[in-house]
Structure 1
Amino acid sequence: MKNYQKYKAYETVQMADRTWPSNCLTKAPMWCSVDLRDGNQALETPMSLDQKLEFFDFLVKTGFKEIEIGFPAASETEYEFTRALIENNLIPEDVTVQVLTQSRGHIIQRTFEALKGVKNAIVHLYNSTSTLQRDVVFGNSQQATIDLAVYGAQLIGDMAAQYPETNYRFEYSPESFTGTEMDFAVEICNAVIDVWQPTTDKKVIINLPATVEMATPNLYADQIEYMCRNLKNRENVLVSLHAHNDRGTAVAATELGMLAGADRVEGTLFGNGERTGNADIMNVAMNLFTQGIDPLLDFGKIDEVVEIYENATSMHVHPRHPYAGQLVYTAFSGSHQDAIRKGMEAMKSHPEHWEVPYLPIDPMDVGRTYDPIIRINSQSGKGGVTFILEQYYSLHMPKAFQKDVGAVVTRVSDEMQCELSPDKIFEIFNQEYVDIRSPLKLIQYRTETVDPERDVLAIEAEIEYGGERHFIQGEGNGVVSAFCHAMDNLIHMPIDIINYRGHSMELGTNSRAISYIETKDATGRRFYGAGTSSSVGKSSLRAVVSTINKMLSV
């Protein structure tokens, strides 16, 4: 890491009046998937013909209207795939396939042979234009590089004229655009535009690839705005982006490039592609979605997108991948869990406008459920545990009770060194708080009102304590108070009820009730217990018994 001095900073674009920083995205661009070309060529094991056909059908269903299907002159597999789509009539009327070609005569000719009979197609011409490529790889001058691009453009125009039954459109990429002098990039693109003579009905695509991401995203935006200002016949030119991810900022570069005036975006699902990959087209589309913009692509079943991608590419989507990762709608942190729980509750008052802390979108919009939002490990707190017990088991605990339960569950997770499932959390809750019957057990009881005016109630109860049966009596202003007084007479330990709450656990007349009790002893220590029963009164007494048993166990 001491060798940083052998690298040099990239030159900036001198443009004091740039406008893109003040712009705002208001609509989706034209999308072009390059999964079947740029993504496929980057795989250790390229897709089979059947896999490519299945992937193409998926891309169509997702909403892509332009799909780059390969480099048909590069291999027999690519050629056969192109022919299979055409001969089996698998390309919908409103979808245009795109193919890549170098500026070489026999390759262009083979490309048009592969496309014979297609209804709509884009022929994508490219040649390298950067200073490094010209000097080191090809040994070409600027003029020789322009001549090569013009030659290819003329030949493509001539070949397309031989197939009047096909609606051909043309695309040119100055490969390694980001490493090209801007004035030269303008010059070579304008030379190609002069050949193709675009019109309103026959627009030309000028694709400006960050073939290698060399600088910060703002510089890519400057380059795009510079090109948009200086390209000829701009109203009939579609400026397209094709960002790679060598610096890890392809999505940001694409978004800033759109602000800078680009009309079209090329990319792949999950950023698949050479080296660090391409701009993740799903990520860009979903980012628009979060801003209230129709992305014109359907990722409403994100798990299906992941499945077909992983099956076709033999790669895996990272669990933290934006929008699609298995953990991206999950919160382990206690404070995050609590905020999510409160945000979900607040959503009930304004369901038309999504606004939940830590969740930029509603998981249901991409086919996920709320179930995995809160997951519990040693980093979790009362908020997450409370959410799980509320959502899965309809338990609505008092706040102080929540805190105690959260601490217990966190301790268990820490001891087990693992995440806890909802079932395990419920099991812990029951073991630690519900219907604890040792050393004290309630066998039966009966109550009688002795003073209706003062709401005084008497209780007689049969209990088991220390292995022996006891009959106890007491009075109070309710069944809980009366039972606590009766127990004090037996164990000589005052039971100070701090909080009591109960509710039904299910709907209906036969539903079970649960009661929560919070007490404190003479030293001020707090204890918590719960009880369940089809009888509200019995659930209350079972909760008291649970709490007393916890007090006795200290």
Structure 2
Amino acid sequence: MMNASKYSPGYFPVEHAEYRWVKKDHPEKAPNWCSVDLRDGNQALIVPMSLEEKLEFFQMLVRIGFKEIEVGFPAASETEYEFLRTLIEQDLIPEDVTIQVLTQCREHIIRKTFEAVKGAPRAVVHFYNSTSKAQREQVFKKSKEEIKEIALEGAKLVKQLSEEYDGNFLFEYSPESFTGTEPDFALDVCNAVIDVMQPTVERPMIINLPVTVEMSLPHVYANQIEYCSDRLHNREAIILSTHPHNDRGTGVADTELALLAGAQRVECCLFGNGERTGNVDAVTLAMNLYVLGVDPQLDFSNMPEIVETYERLTRMHVHERQPYAGALVFAAFSGSHQDAIAKGMKCKEADPLGRWTVPYLPIDPHDVSRTYDADVIRVNSQSGKGGIGYILETKYGFDLPAKMREHFGYTVKEVSDHAHAELKPEQILKVFEETYLNKRKPVLDVIEAHFIQGRSLKAVVTAKTGGAEYEWYAAGNGRLNAVNNAIKQGLGIEYSLETYTDQSLGKSSDASAASYVGLLWPDGSRTWGAGMDPDIIFSGILALVSAINNHFEQGGTN
């Protein structure tokens, strides 16, 4: 049995929180983004990336638009060290990109870090020590003052070495396990570090308040951020950063509320990779801004390529339901959803401003290089006539009458149900062709039709039935009506031509025409047929013939 009584909150809420951030709807601009894929993300992989793989991943991050990239913990392993030296010595860091390195507040690690980062054109040295109550009491067995002294000694050494080594250095400090630290103590440590580092508006310092472990609802973290943001020393020279993990599954919410509460920077990983349940997902955060009309300053327009590269280099899998990037996130199998999407697409085309308001799709799939026919309207036994008809129309140009579309929908669903499988667009087209299009058996085939214009229009129809060829004659008030009368008399059958529509399948002068016919038979049944031919009159005749043949193929009698 599960026993909830052994758990109690490990966080420290802000007393008398002001909640000013609650009045904001969303961030008005993108934060400073820092990818930690090559450090947090890489250390969380079962098989960490090789030097060559890390270089390729770095180049992908640059293409996406990250201007700050944490490239590793150079004192942790030789591969981390070599990667950093390769970036610097081979001049692989773009002028507008700042690399970042991580170090604990321990002297030998700080010294090795500066040895690794020397000569960097622009680098953030990110130093940290844990400040949480649990770590103080259980791991370090030190008092608050002793923990604070670790941070101060680290800050002093970082500042000293930055003046001794060649390079352009900026600084970041994190009270690790911030979410398990008393807010006033975390603030005290950060302010003491700021006083040592003496940042300026021209050379600001980053104070990072990480969600090392999620312990609370997101609003509690937002209050902690707002509390510290209001009270940090030299605030105009501070860039307030956040680094959320996802232990409670609310890393994105933590970050979004933190941005409302005063955070200006986000450390994140693509697709939420990272230790345990992962770091906050850069893709979801950026695209959440995008769909609110805020430019995220990151480019995920070629999402399939980014997913492929990520999966190949990390050996991780992007889940099919991963927001914005998963293989099925735009897929609509439900008939009612498909119908709403199809109608929304038509409304979008008629909107002169091109605004995106399509039901069930918060983002235009084209914006991330996905397609409507392959990714949005997906057909299985749960699908409806709207989606199935939409695929047939948008992919192949066939615009069926409403009642025929309904009949076709049931036909396709039956095929999918029996196969226990999704049907691809080409399979849907095949069902349409086999069910309706240009069917010349089992009873009737019209070879040709001529028309004689006199006091009334007369049709001369050459037809095959029962293995023999005949010529039938009949008058009518139009060409198709005359052919229809000739066929009914020739076969000795009776039905009503209820529906007839036609369309061009292209814009050129030699485009084929498509026609659709619906027949009502004396027994109350209805059959449908479609015809396609360069001649629009003959396409209508073929549709009529197809509908007649469908009646007899289904066992109908006159």
With structure 1 as the length reference, what TM-score do the two structures score?
0.96
After TM superposition, give the deviation of residue 270 of structure 1 in Å. Answer: 0.7
Aligned partners of 1:537, 1:313: CA distance in 2, in Å? 60
Q: SS in structure 1 opposite 2:241?
A: strand
Residue equivalent to 2:336:
335
Contact 2:479 2:537 in 1 (8 A): yes
SS of 1:405's equivalent?
Answer: helix
Aligned residue runs from structure 1 range 247-396, under 5 A: 247-350=248-351, 351-372=353-374, 373-396=376-399
SS in 2 for 1:245: coil
Q: Report the Cα offset of residue 378 of structure 1.
A: 1.1
User: Greater CA deviation, 341-350 or 247-256?
Assistant: 341-350
- Code of the residue aligned with 2:463 in structure 1: it is I
Letter in 2 for 1:320: R
> Cα deviations across residues 433-489 of structure 1 (Å, max 9, x unaligned)?
1112212222333222343xxxx4222323223334443332221222223333333
Q: Please give the alpha-carbon distance, in whole angstroms, between the structure 2 residues aligned to 1:89 and 1:2.
A: 55
1:220 CA displacement: 1.4
> What does residue 84 of structure 1 align with?
86
Q: Shift of residue 121 of structure 1?
A: 1.1
Specify the code of the residue in structure 2 equivalent to 1:144: E
SS at match of 1:436: coil
Query: What letter matches 2:416 in structure 1?
Result: S
- For residues 481 and 149 of structure 2, the distance between their equivalents in structure 1, rounded to whole angstroms, comes to 97
**Which of residues 66, 69, 79 in structure 1 aligns to 2:68?**
66
Pair 1:75-2:82 in alignment:
no
Amino acid at match of 1:472: W
Q: Distance in 2 between matches of 1:93 and 1:347?
A: 41
What's the % identity of the aligned pairs?
51
3-state DSSP of counterpart to 1:2: coil
Q: Which secondary structure state, in structure 2, belongs to the residue aligned with residue 371 of structure 1?
A: helix
Which runs of no fewer than 5 residues in structure 2 stay unpaired?
A: none
Alpha-carbon distance, 1:281 to partner: 1.0
> Aligned equivalents of 1:12 and 1:224: distance in 2?
11
Q: Which residue is 1:49 aligned to?
A: 51
Cα distance in 2 between the residues matched to 1:298 and 1:88: 26
Deviations 1:313-335 (A, max 9, x none): 01111122111122223222222
Deviation for aligned residue 1:155: 0.9
> Which segment is superposed worse, 338-347 or 468-477?
468-477
Amino acid aligned to 2:159: G
For residues 147 and 182 of structure 2, the distance between their equivalents in structure 1, rounded to whole angstroms, comes to 13
> Does residue 1:527 correspond to 2:527, yes or no?
yes
Name which of structure 1's ranges 172-181 and 5-14 shifts more when overlaid on structure 2.
Answer: 5-14
Q: Counterpart in 1 of 2:190?
A: 189
CA contact (8 A) 2:34 2:268 kept: yes
Contact 1:484–1:495 at 8 Å: present in 2 too?
no
SS at match of 2:194: helix
Partner of 1:39: 41
Cα drift, residue 187 of structure 1: 1.3
The amino acid that maps onto 1:462 is T
Q: In the alignment, which residue of structure 1 is the partner of 2:30? A: 28
- What are the Cα deviations for residues 126-173 of structure 1, in whole angstroms up to 9, with x where unaligned? 11111111111211111111111111011111111113x522111111
**Matched residue, 1:98:** 100
Contact 1:73 1:79 in 2 (8 A): yes
Instruction: Note if contact 2:17-2:223 (Cα within 8 Å) is conserved in structure 1.
Output: no
TM-aligned CA deviation for residue 529 of structure 1: 0.8
Partner of 2:421: 418
Shift of 1:60: 1.7
Query: Once the two structures are superposed, what CA deviation does each residue of 1:521-544 show, in whole Å capped at 9, x if it has no partner?
Result: 224332211112222121111111
Residue identity in the other structure for 1:384: G
Query: Quick one: distance in 1 between partners of 2:523 and 2:5?
Result: 67
Distance 1:379 1:339 in 2: 15
The more displaced of 14-23 and 251-260 is: 14-23
> What amino acid sits opposite 1:284 in the alignment?
L
Task: Determine if the alignment matches structure 1 residue 442 to structure 2 residue 446.
Answer: yes
Bigger Cα displacement from structure 2, 173-182 vs 481-490: 481-490
Q: In the aligned structure 2, how far is the partner of 1:471 from the partner of 1:369?
A: 50
CA drift of 1:491 comes to 4.1
Match of 2:149 among 138, 147, 150: 147
- Give the aligned partner of residue 432 of structure 2: 429
Q: Which moved more, 1:74-83 or 1:369-378?
A: 369-378
- Which residue in the other structure is 1:156 paired with? 158
Separation of aligned partners in 1, 2:471 and 2:537: 18
Who is 1:231 aligned against? Answer: 232
Paired amino acid for 2:236: E
Task: Tell whether the 8 Å contact from 1:98 to 1:124 is kept in structure 2 after alignment.
Answer: yes
The one-letter code of the counterpart of 1:414 is: D
Shift of 1:506: 2.4
Aligned pairs (5 A) from 1:387-406: 387-406=390-409
Give how far 1:370 is off: 3.0
Q: C-alpha displacement at 1:11, in angstroms?
A: 5.1
Summarize the Cα distance change of 1:481–1:78 in structure 2 as closer, same or farther, 3 Å threshold. Answer: same
AA aligned to 1:6 is K
Q: Shift of residue 13 of structure 1?
A: 2.9
Name which of structure 1's ranges 329-338 and 390-399 shifts more when overlaid on structure 2: 329-338
Secondary structure in 2 matching 1:265: strand
Whole-Å separation in 2 of the counterparts to 1:16 and 1:310: 42
Q: In 2, Cα distance between the equivalents of 1:324 and 1:284?
A: 12
Partner of 1:465: 465
Contact 1:531 1:540 in 2 (8 A): yes
Task: Specify the alignment match of 2:537 in structure 1.
Answer: 537
Q: Deviations over 1:31-58 (max 9, x none)?
A: 1110110000001111111111111122
Matched position secondary structure for 2:372: coil
Partner of 1:550: 550
Find the counterpart in structure 1 of residue 483 from structure 2: 483
Instruction: Determine the C-alpha separation between the residues in 2 that align with 1:63 and 1:86.
Output: 19
Matched AA of 1:273: G
Distance in 1 between the 2:241 and 2:219 partners? 17
**Separation (CA, whole Å) in 2 of partners of 1:2 and 1:112:** 48
What is the rounded CA distance, in whole Å, between the counterparts of 1:269 and 1:284 in structure 2?
10
Q: How far apart, CA to CA, are the structure 2 residues paired with 1:19 and 1:310?
A: 41
**Which runs of 5 or more structure 1 residues have no equivalent in the other structure?**
none
